[in-house]
Amino acid sequence: MMDARMRHGRAALAFSFFAQGVAFALLVTRIPAVQDRYRISDALLPVFLAAVPVLAGAGSVGAGQLVKRVRPSLVLRWSQPVVLLSLLGVAAGRGVVQLAVALGVFGLAVGALDASMNMLGVSLQHTYGRSIMLGFHAAYSLGGILGATAAWLGAHGQLPLLVSYLPVAAVLLPAALVGSRWYVDAAAPDPEGAGERPAEAAVAFRLLLPLCLVMTFAYIGDSTVSNWSAKYLQDVLGSSEQLATVPYNVYMATTLIGRSLGDLGVRRFGAVAVVRAGTLLAALGFATVAAAPGAWVGMLGFTLLGLGLCVLVPQTFAAAGRLFPGASDAAVARLNIFNYVGFLVGSPLVGALGGAWNYRAAMLVPMALVLVTLVYATSFAPRRPAGGRLLRRPG
């Protein structure tokens, strides 16, 4: 049995994932309100939106360097409050300059937060000796659903952004700080092995590259659903405006379900089988969306997408930890950058293809990219450390 320290660490980290899901959803689902508050033109808005993932990538790189000197738990402990406070800054600013500063801080802190959360998740999974990463990401999905619901209530009640954000931050911030007392770090590395020579870095990235591609393509698929599902249902499949808001909610709900059950699937069938099944389900989802004769079949496609894509990202982080058991923090920080690459590429890619070609055909492009995961599925297999044995825990 795991001792109380590990159980508390797992619960505290799950809450951190949950809080991050809430915070991110509160920002992205109120973008129209942010645009109205600061009177940002449609031409300028994409610049602000693109800056966040770019800076998040920089934050992830910074976290990778920082954890060579301090524990990942410290990076997580202080980056999460900065995310929540910068969210309040977005709501409370009085001009475009204040907004730019708040979004810049938000982006940098989110990158450090995402990287350090997944570092701790990978190290805890290694300690447990069985799959638990999907459960952490399920907590993130749950937070995203609740955050989007809170944002909808704020928009429905025509509440100012600060009035919507302040109660959430007032609850999450102290809870996250208290919970951070129970974070559990991996065993400290040998100081003599802390440094990394350039040749080793090149070899590490070459080995990590397949997982980086999987991460990028998974987020291209995810951002396609996030940014284009409503427009696709309404403009291509002829749904009502009200029905067009449903696919993303369905996608988030099925993501939560898939991640909640995914760890059991990994323990029973193995990571490779689960990743292959998720890839095929996601591809089938995109194909169904592209061929859908009407809105309800399109909804079925987005449901399949949620069930398929949801397993890929958590398992990619876990695979990076297994691939570099002595340097999992660095591997996770590098891999996390491609989360933002996929997010940046996905929406413009589908939009450009849809405008130049048609949106049905455009949906086949993320489908093809996601299918590349099948080529790299063996990268998700457990690996036997040199001179050691695989850690297993019954049950």
Instruction: Quote the pLDDT of residue 314.
Output: 93
Phi and psi torsions of 358, nearest 5°: -160, 160
Cα distances (Å, whole numbers) of residue 387 to 110, 337, 383, 384, 390: 37, 31, 12, 8, 10
Instruction: Quote the pLDDT of residue 183.
Output: 93
Report the candidate in 216, 218, 221, 217 with the shortest Cα–Cα distance to residue 337. 216
- Report yes or no: 350 and 235 within 8 Å, Cβ to Cβ: no
Instruction: Quote the pLDDT of residue 384.
Output: 54
Report the candidate in 364, 344, 109 with the shortest Cα–Cα distance to residue 216. 344
- Report yes or no: 175 and 15 within 8 Å, Cβ to Cβ: yes
Instruction: Quote the pLDDT of residue 329.
Output: 87
Instruction: Quote the pLDDT of residue 383.
Output: 66
Instruction: Quote the pLDDT of residue 225.
Output: 85
Per-residue pLDDT of the chain (395 residues; tens, 9 = 90+): 458 888 999 999 999 999 999 998 888 878 888 888 898 887 788 888 888 889 999 999 999 899 889 999 999 999 999 999 999 999 998 889 999 999 999 999 999 999 999 999 999 998 888 889 999 999 999 998 898 888 888 887 888 889 989 999 999 999 999 999 999 986 544 433 334 434 344 335 778 899 999 999 999 998 888 878 877 887 888 877 667 667 777 888 899 999 999 999 999 999 999 999 999 999 999 999 999 999 899 989 999 999 999 999 999 999 988 888 878 888 898 899 999 999 888 878 888 888 888 889 999 999 999 999 999 998 898 765 444 444 443 33
- Report yes or no: 305 and 282 within 8 Å, Cβ to Cβ: yes
Q: What is the secondary structure of 286-315 as a DSSP string?
A: HHHHHH-SSHHHHHHHHHHHHHHHTTHHHH
Question: How far does Cα 81 stand from its chain's mean position?
Answer: 18
In order of their start, the domains of the chain are 1-183 (1.20.1250.20), 201-385 (1.20.1250.20)
Instruction: Quote the pLDDT of residue 187.
Output: 55
Report the candidate in 63, 175, 58 with the shortest Cα–Cα distance to residue 117. 63
C-alpha to C-alpha distance for 321 and 208, rounded to whole angstroms:
10
Instruction: Quote the pLDDT of residue 308.
Output: 94
Instruction: Quote the pLDDT of residue 393.
Output: 38
Instruction: Quote the pLDDT of residue 391.
Output: 40
Instruction: Quote the pLDDT of residue 392.
Output: 42
Buried (b) or exposed (e) across 61-86, using 16+ Cβ within 10 A? bbbbebbeeebbbbbbbbbbbbbbeb
Cα distances (Å, whole numbers) of residue 204 to 164, 181, 187, 360, 375: 44, 32, 21, 38, 20
Structure-token pair, residue 221: 């698929």
Instruction: Quote the pLDDT of residue 130.
Output: 87
